[in-house]
Amino acid sequence: MAKLNLVEASIEELQDALQSGCLTSVDLVTRYLARISTYDCRGLALNSIPILNNDIFEEAARSDDRRASGTSVGVLEGIPFTVKDSYKVKGMTAAAGSPAFKDLIAKEDAFLVQVIRKAGGILVGRTNMPAVACGGMQRGIYGRAENPYNPKYLAAAFASGSSNGSAVSVAASFAAFGMGGETVSSGRSPASNNALIAYTPSRGFLSIRGTWPLYPTCDVPVPHTKTIRDLLCLLDVIAVTDPVVEGDFWREQTMVEVQKPWLDRPSSFKEISASKSLAGLRIAVPEIFLGGPPPKRGTTGRREPGNHQALGTSQKGSRRSRCRDYSRRRLSSHDGV
């Protein structure tokens, strides 16, 4: 197998490398931590993961032992991930970015952390956010995450982007995926600014139990991944029924009957990848939102068919590929870093 490039590697590619023996989970977390040391703590000082998991090597070693012993491995066996500082992780602080809770220690994992760990995921650390998710790029107790693509721009919308640390940790390849959250657009906003995939589910589809509430009737977890295939792989793990309703206001309350969207799911979300539901459709992107000039008065602002800029792309490639080209110059992947 060719040398693994962490900047481009998908969850599936990481699993292939681990399963083939080309890489161990301990090796993998070592490489991610090297990137964090180089780009998050020093250098660019992206500041996306202010709290690291002290037990990361022990967890990775146990994952390697399970794989070596022939024990049935989970879907995410040995795959490193991050969680927003609003998720409870047993034995770690649960400050939610607030100085008021900087010494509060969680006694249990949030439900989604439980199922990810049960599937073999290795927690790298907790990602940055403003105090109790109020706002977007306002600084919390640990400051804020910075844009890995361009330091002149924010990592998320200023008014709504509290999951900025989660998105930056994935965009900068400090982990394979991250778990953020949102009440308005705090998960999607940083994904948009960092060329990532974010999924905002229907309320109740993903369990919110074990996360700090901001607006209980609107709060939802939001996973951040690099690709749709990674997202579908992750949904197979986290889109499951939480048997405990206490601590999840939406499911716990009895005043209003709510739908149960978690019961209406495919046997595997990977089936969706073969869907042709968008085949033949064209996507229009208002150029003004991409920094282009507004249309002149009296014109439609429409471009002739065939001009790729009408689709938010150019002859030089997609926005994502251009972002990645720029990112490679800032976030080198050489020598295992």
pLDDT in tens, 275-312: 787 888 998 888 777 776 766 665 554 444 343 333 33
6: in domain: no
Number of domains forming the structure of the chain: 1
88-102, 199-213, 247-261: least confident range? 247-261
319: in domain: no
Q: 73 falls in which pLDDT band (50, 70, 90)?
A: confident
pLDDT in the model for residue 320: 53
69: in domain: yes
Structural domain for 120, as ranges: 11-277
300: in domain: no
Does the pLDDT value for residue 50 go beyond 70?
yes
Q: Please report, rounded to a whole number, the percentage of residues in the chain having pLDDT higher than 90.
A: 63
244: in domain: yes
What are the φ and ψ backbone dihedral angles of 140, each rounded to 5 degrees? -100, -160
Predicted TM-score of the model (pTM): 0.84
Q: What is the mean pLDDT of residues 179-198?
A: 95
41-45, 169-173, 193-197, 332-336: least confident range? 332-336
Q: 319 falls in which pLDDT band (50, 70, 90)?
A: very low
290: in domain: no
Partner residues linked to 84 by β-bridges = 127
Which tens digit of pLDDT belongs to each residue from 257-269?
A: 877 776 778 888 9
Q: 6 falls in which pLDDT band (50, 70, 90)?
A: confident
Q: Which residue has the tokens 């890489």?
A: 23
Between CA 157 and CA 155 the distance in angstroms is: 7
Partner residues linked to 12 by β-bridges = none
pLDDT in the model for residue 103: 95
pLDDT in the model for residue 179: 99
Is 45 strand, coil or helix? coil
Q: Please report, rounded to a whole number, the percentage of residues in the chain having pLDDT higher than 70.
A: 85
Both tokens of 50, joined, read 């202010």
Residue whose C-alpha is closest to residue 200's, from 211, 216, 189, 209: 189
29-38, 154-163, 296-305: least confident range? 296-305
Contact in structure between 250 and 217 (CB atoms under 8 Å): yes
Q: 316 falls in which pLDDT band (50, 70, 90)?
A: very low
pLDDT in the model for residue 302: 47
CATH number of the CATH domain containing 43: 3.90.1300.10
Between CA 81 and CA 93 the distance in angstroms is: 17
336: in domain: no
Contact in structure between 97 and 52 (CB atoms under 8 Å): no
Q: ∠ CA(4), CA(8), CA(13), 5° rounding?
A: 55
- Greater model confidence, 108 or 241: 108
Does the pLDDT value for residue 336 go beyond 60?
no
pLDDT in the model for residue 332: 59
Between CA 46 and CA 59 the distance in angstroms is: 25
307: in domain: no
pLDDT in the model for residue 335: 45
